[in-house]
A and B are shown apart, each in its own frame.
Chain A
């Protein structure tokens, strides 16, 4: 397996634009997570899916953020409209279960100008 695949690796967008981040988890993993990493706040959990169903979205900062998992092999994180304070590295991770080893993608570095 190629591991968790995220796209794009880098995204630069203007304030107010819609941004969509994509993730392909490892085949067979039931749990999928979106995290955001900044220098100030470290690694923050945004949302957790189990068997494609959102279980915990308490970390999603605002209504501007939304995430979907239409099937077991694909998830998206959308920000609309984007703001400069959304600039961060966004990671997708998957695991067999929520308490087992998590496998991370390489991340998407988002810059909102």
Chain B
């Protein structure tokens, strides 16, 4: 089964609203990463949060990490139509060899 699972599967909001996506994982981690995928394109790295960090910001992105609950959230503030994409969290697999991804949250921002 997937190491990371995003919630919700799909999210539709209006421009200007905030979007929150959640990720749960199963084992201990070194870091957790969030990626974005536009339709028909490859994944693009957004932000990495280390296991000893609780919150991290990058522009309109805010990521939190709760290692006790094995969960993370990605908040996009003041969303724009261009934020329409799928968002994935990723952690190392149990072997510690490679990143594995959840099935993603599909975000749709309408103007």
Residues of A within 8 A of B (CB): 4, 31, 33, 35, 42-43, 45, 48, 55-56, 58, 91, 93, 98-107
Q: Chain A contacts of B90 at CB under 8 A?
A: 102
The residue in chain A whose Cβ has the minimal distance to the Cβ of B99 is: A102
Give B residues with C-beta under 8 Å from A: 2, 30-31, 33, 35, 41-45, 48, 88, 90, 92-93, 95-104
Whether A56 lies near B98 (C-beta < 8 A) is: yes
A31 and B99 CA atoms in complex are apart in Å by 11
CA of A100 to CA of B32, assembled, Å: 10
A48 and B43 contact, CB distance less than 8 A: no
Cross-chain contact A101 with B48 (CB below 8 angstroms) = yes
Contacts of B48 in A (CB 8 A): 100-101
Given A43-B104, A98-B99, A99-B31, 15 additional A-B pairs, CB 8 A: A33-B99, A35-B101, A42-B102, A42-B104, A43-B43, A45-B93, A45-B99, A56-B93, A56-B98, A93-B42, A98-B96, A99-B96, A102-B33, A102-B35, A103-B45
Residue of B nearest to A46 (CB): B98
Cross-chain contact B43 with A91 (CB below 8 angstroms) = yes
A56 near B42 (CB under 8 angstroms)? Answer: no
**Knowing A48-B97, A98-B98 touch, does A42 contact B2 (C-beta < 8 A)?**
yes
In the complex, chain B residues whose CB is within 8 Å of the CB of A48:
97-98
Q: A42-B101, A42-B104, A45-B100 are in contact. Are A99 and B30 (CB under 8 A)?
A: yes
